[in-house]
Structure 1
């Protein structure tokens, strides 16, 4: 019996180690090198990365980063969908592009210098309340996407973030999908400080610590408080 117990313990430890290894290897597959070309650092063309809620996921837009490709990869609940566009584009000009995948579509808008990228008019089957927050990646500043959850009274909400250098933007969505403003903040020495809504009267304040591909933190508002965590997925 003692030998059987020892064998079972060893098996449990082996399975646990295997899962940890799989997680580590999955994280190691994520690139830490920007793919954005320096030619388009201050133009509308280039690479854009963001996070999706209405379920959970991330998005990568290749806006002719290689001079020709115009496509978007949208990942929802781990499943990837490729969107394309037939719209004509001009380098260094204000742009609005409609990306489509069969009957699903969304509009991507960006200024001539690559600033203020936004995604609107989102129609994705099964995700009627979808929202996307997105940032432009530069050749010297990679954008990273994190997906996670936060604790709240009555259940867990979704928290998805996109980070670039000392900037963080994202979406904090309660379990009842109450519409609240985007999260915006800054990063200093891997410490996140952000708010939901504008100062001096934000809806909530957010703090967190980045550790490799993981983030943990807390949030507080006039109506409650809790913890949150997220893992890098792009």
Structure 2
């Protein structure tokens, strides 16, 4: 009887261990939860009344090192400001250039100024009367800066990603996304513009023949790059920060 009891205990123990092993295996196969930007909005901030005018909201990315910019022009009341983040520091920029401006009027080189990390920074903003062709030029001491910016509408949230590319070359890889349209800015300079193909990035630059591919997962984006005229290649990745 004692031997039978020991045998039953051994069988029960083995079954329990096997069950635990199966649970461990199942847990290891669990799909990781996609990254979600904790500070990013999930719906457009832009008001519908500014969708076809120069007023409203504009958002984009900065390279040289890295950052983001968001401009608010009469989106809420008469508030005019630019929120700038650069190399981990942030500030609110103000302007005196738009004191007599009204939504629906074109803007040419409106000067926004602010201070980040003790450095005086200038941002010049221009846009057509209907909100098309927004442009930002920035002056940051010690940096050569490139900015890509889109107008946000009440139906299209602008998402901005900051990241890096590595491999046979390395540097900053930032992107701003407007629906299916994107602008990629890298530290080597220039802005690459294109449209998503089936929700993914599949881009070949016309000048340098660099192939860029990538996919989105939550607020993460990652992919590969390849110089088709040489053997240089690598990977890139970024996270949404605005």
Q: TM-score with structure 1 length normalisation?
A: 0.80
Q: Equivalent residue for 1:218? A: 224
Check conservation: 1:214, 1:232, Cα contact below 8 A: yes
Contiguous gaps of at least 5 residues in structure 1: 1-19
Check conservation: 1:150, 1:157, Cα contact below 8 A: yes
RMSD across aligned C-alpha pairs, in angstroms?
2.0
Indicate the structure whose relative CO is greater, using CA pairs within 8 Å and at least 6 residues apart: 2
Using the alignment, how far apart are the partners of 1:119 and 1:92 within structure 2? 18
- Deviation sequence 1:27-85 (CA, Å, 0-9, x none): 24321110000000011001011001111111111112113111111101221021100
Contiguous gaps of at least 5 residues in structure 2: 1-31
Q: Paired residue for 1:27, among 37, 47, 70?
A: 37
Q: Paired residue for 1:151, among 166, 184, 189?
A: 166
Check conservation: 1:184, 1:195, Cα contact below 8 A: no
Indicate the SS of the match to 2:49. helix
Q: How many residues align?
A: 202
Check conservation: 2:161, 2:241, Cα contact below 8 A: yes
Give the deviation of 1:113 after TM superposition. 0.7
Q: Which runs of 4+ in 1 moved over 4 A?
A: none
Using the alignment, how far apart are the partners of 1:229 and 1:195 within structure 2? 17
Q: Equivalent residue for 2:70? A: 60
Q: Equivalent residue for 1:77? A: 87
Q: Equivalent residue for 2:192? A: 183
Check conservation: 2:136, 2:149, Cα contact below 8 A: yes
Give the deviation of 1:164 after TM superposition. 1.2
